[in-house]
Amino acid sequence: MAQMDLANSTIADIETVTQPTHDEIARQRFCSVLRRHAIQDFATAVEADYRERVAPKAGAPATRWREIDKAMERENSYRFYSTLRYNAQEMCFLSVQPEVERALPDLIAVARDAAERNPAGGSLRLDPALAVPAYVTNLDVHLTPGCFHSEFTEDDVAQGAVVSLGSRVFTAQQSHRSWGGVARVISRWIKAAYPDFTPTRMLDIGTTSGKNLIPYVEAFPGVEAHGIDVGAPLLRYGHAVAEHAGVPVHYSQQNAEHTDFPDGHFDLIVSSFFFHEIPVWATKKVLAECQRLLKPGGLMVHQELPAHDLVDAWENYFWNWDTRNNNEPAYTAFRDQDPIALMADAGFDPAASFAHILPDIGAYPDRTAAFAWDEPGRPRHGKGGWYVFGSRKPA
């Protein structure tokens, strides 16, 4: 009996259940390379075309991103770039669907096993009555077919698998983005910037599959970790990942605008790539909820896209492509906000708040000075650094 208990004490690795064929692997690699070419090499070429050919016709480089947008919208270089980038984005998630659909019964079985046994000590709490916000249900965010929330069968995890596996194709296998790189950067920075800070309970909002939550548990041993999202398939999938890894994480299906946690419940609240996906009015509600949930002395750190006034016109133009083309309609409106003002409106002290770029994991803290906003040659967000905003609540 003891041997049987031991053999059944570990949940299967849900991330290895799908088995792509030779042709599917080739397709995924092609999609990775194509998207990387579109968003990096081709984007650089389009910028050069603007600066060397288009801008001189106007007499001077633009000072506002909308001027660049107007100047480039009918240029062949931009139109080809935009078409390629859009299709490459869509193809990344489509490329993993066949293997997910083939393996779906086994994926569901692993997730059910995790939910029934919880060998790592985590938990999964779903709310079938939760009203998923229209800003999620009305469109396929990121061009991900089915978005984050869609369910087609009982205990469905298909969207969790598509988002997780598709994101790895989408990010061209860049581990710093595809599995926990943001969390590793932020947790390392927290330890250096706040050496007195030792969280006992934390919350990750918009956690998806928990890829940027689990590293915090590794960074702060003993922390009680919670992750919330509106997408049940994501949470089922993420819970199975955590249970297999032996990391106790408590996942619950909740809208971050209003949760069921008590006041002052968390020492640390984080998010990654979350706020630009929701309308500004919802952002204000979520930040007010963070203020309610954060205990005195607690810390809030959100990784996001840099605000408009922190970067030049071309970088703004580059980021705001997603607003019209990537099913992220709140993108530009969020970036147009002053994060310090947003936090102040939610009740946070501006003097204890921050908005800056953090060096990537290999550069912190030794090269911190090189990442100042006014430093020539500063690495761009997502290419050597990560933009964060947040605040610490008075003790």
* Residue whose tokens read 């939550």: 213
Residue 113 lies in a domain: no
Residue 231 lies in a domain: yes
* pLDDT-derived band at 10, boundaries 50, 70, 90: confident
DSSP summary character for residue 180:
S
Distance CA 336, CA 353 (A): 18
Residue 301 lies in a domain: yes
Q: Give me the number of domains the chain comprises.
A: 1
* pLDDT-derived band at 62, boundaries 50, 70, 90: confident
User: Does pLDDT of 366 surpass 70?
Assistant: no
| Residue 236: how many other CB atoms lie within 10 Å | 31
Sign of CA dihedral 258, 260, 265, 267: negative
User: Does pLDDT of 7 surpass 90?
Assistant: no
Residue 183 lies in a domain: yes
Numbers of helices and strands, H then E, in the chain:
17, 8
C-alpha neighbours within 13 Å on the C-beta side of residue 274: 28
* pLDDT-derived band at 171, boundaries 50, 70, 90: confident
pLDDT tens sequence across 128-152 = 999 999 999 999 998 999 999 999 9
pLDDT tens sequence across 91-123 = 999 999 999 999 999 999 999 999 999 999 999
Between β-strands 353-359 and 266-272, what pairing exists: parallel, antiparallel or unpaired?
unpaired
User: Does pLDDT of 307 surpass 90?
Assistant: no
Average pLDDT estimate for 10-38: 94
Distance CA 365, CA 342 (A): 28
Residue 335 lies in a domain: yes
Looking at residue 124, its pLDDT comes to 98
| Residue 33: partners with Cβ closer than 8 Å, 6 or more residues away | 172
| Residue 385: how many other CB atoms lie within 10 Å | 22
C-alpha neighbours within 13 Å on the C-beta side of residue 101: 9
337 lies in which domain range? Answer: 170-392
Distance CA 183, CA 40 (A): 23
Residue 81 lies in a domain: no
Write a three-state SS string for 217-248. HHHCCCCEEEEEECCHHHHHHHHHHHHHHCCC
Buried b (16+ CB within 10 A) or exposed e, 153-190: eeebbbbbbbbbbbbbbbbbeeebbbbbbbbbbbbbbb
Looking at residue 2, its pLDDT comes to 33
What's 359's domain CATH number? 3.40.50.150
What tokens were used for 124? 């999964």
Residue 109 lies in a domain: no
User: Does pLDDT of 384 surpass 70?
Assistant: no
Residue 262 lies in a domain: yes
Looking at residue 365, its pLDDT comes to 56
